[in-house]
Amino acid sequence: MPTIAVTGGKGGTGKSTVAVNLAFALAKQGYGVDLLDLDIECPNDSRLSGIQVNPVSSVYKSVPVINDKCTGCGVCVQACEPKALYMLNEKVNLIEDICTGCMLCQKVCPFNAIDTGQKKVGTVSVGEVRVGSGKVTLIEGRLEVGEDESTKIIAEALKYSNSKVKIIDTAAGTHCTVVKALKKADHAFIVTEPTPFGISDSMKVVELVKKLGVGYDLVLNRDMGNDVSLPVKPKFRIPYSRALVNSYISGRPIVLQDSPEARVFGEMAEHARSILLGD
Positions touching ligand SF4 (CB under 6 A) are 64, 66, 70-76, 79-80, 82, 84-85, 92, 94, 99-105, 109, 111, 113-114
Burial call 153-167: b when 16+ CB within 10 Å, e when fewer:
bbebbbebbebebbb
**Least separation, in Å, of the C-beta of 218 and ligand SF4?**
41
Q: Which is nearer to ligand SF4, 113 or 209 (CB)?
A: 113
Minimum separation from the CB atom of position 40 to ligand SF4 (A): 21
Closer to ligand SF4 at the Cβ: 71 or 151? 71
Distances 137 to 7, 106, 142, 268, 271 between C-alpha atoms, Å:
19, 41, 16, 19, 21
Strand order in the sheet with 165-170: 54-66, 114-131, 134-143, 32-38, 165-170, 3-8, 187-192, 215-223, 236-239
Report the candidate in 40, 1, 37 with the shortest Cα–Cα distance to residue 22. Answer: 37
Min separation Cβ 159 and ligand SF4, Å: 25
In angstroms, the CA 17 to CA 15 distance is 5
Q: Which CB sits closer to ligand SF4, 81 or 258?
A: 81
Which CB atom, from 70 or from 243, has the smaller least distance to ligand SF4? 70
Min CB(87)–ligand SF4 separation in Å: 7
Q: In this complex, which beta carbon is closest to ligand SF4, that of residue 119 or of residue 135?
A: 119
**Least distance (Å) between residue 93 CB and ligand SF4:** 10
Measured from the CB of residue 92, what is the shortest distance to ligand SF4 in angstroms? 5
Smaller CB distance to ligand SF4: residue 120 or 159? 120
Give how far Cα 152 sits from Cα of 65, 91, 122, 142, 238, Å. Answer: 21, 31, 9, 11, 34
Query: Of 202, 195, 203, nearest to 224 (Cα)?
Result: 195
